[in-house]
């Protein structure tokens, strides 16, 4: 990889995760993911944070997006992202990569190798990660 490509994939990134280790599986949801892992591609160090917004009735994507923006990341890697979170991250100049799966470590390696394409649009509609209550399901 040339130095220009390395620079494009260096710095702090955020990966949505079901756990708090490098061996954890990527959480397919952004706003309602269980954890965020912030990984510094320059030093190899990381920090894991529980997503305090995952159980919000509404606004989880926006609140999660604002939290990630506050950590000064340059990229987010997740399975899916809705329109509100995508807008918050894009407005802050953060690149969003969707459709990622596997372990956090695998995703980081793939990112460093330039194997992902930026998502210019949300991958799901709003309210995607919300649990469906039994009385809200329509039969028919």
In terms of pLDDT, which residue wins out, 107 or 7? 107
| Residue of 128, 133, 131 lying closest to 28 (CA atoms) | 128
State the DSSP H helix or E strand holding residue 46, giving kind and residue range, or none if neither. Answer: strand 46-50
pTM: 0.82
What pLDDT, in 10s, does the model give residues 63-102? 999 999 999 999 999 999 999 999 999 999 999 999 999 9
The bridge status of strand 75-77 relative to strand 12-17 is: parallel
> Could you tell me the pLDDT band of residue 33, with boundaries at 50, 70 and 90?
very high
What pLDDT, in 10s, does the model give residues 94-122? 999 999 999 999 999 999 999 998 988 77
């Amino acid at each position: 990889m040339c130095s220009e490509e390395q620079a494009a994939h260096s710095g702090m990134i955020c990966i949505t995760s079901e756990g708090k280790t490098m061996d954890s599986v990527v959480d397919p949801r952004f706003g309602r993911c269980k954890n965020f892992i912030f990984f510094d591609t320059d030093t190899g160090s990381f920090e894991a944070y529980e997503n305090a917004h995952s159980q919000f009735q509404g606004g989880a994507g926006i609140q999660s997006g604002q939290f990630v923006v506050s950590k000064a990341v340059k990229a987010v890697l997740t399975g899916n992202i809705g329109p509100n979170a995508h807008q918050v991250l894009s407005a802050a100049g953060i690149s969003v990569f969707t459709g990622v799966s596997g372990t956090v470590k695998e995703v980081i390696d793939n990112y460093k190798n330039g194997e992902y394409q930026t998502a210019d649009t949300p991958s799901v509609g709003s309210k995607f990660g919300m649990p469906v209550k039994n009385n809200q399901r329509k039969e028919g």
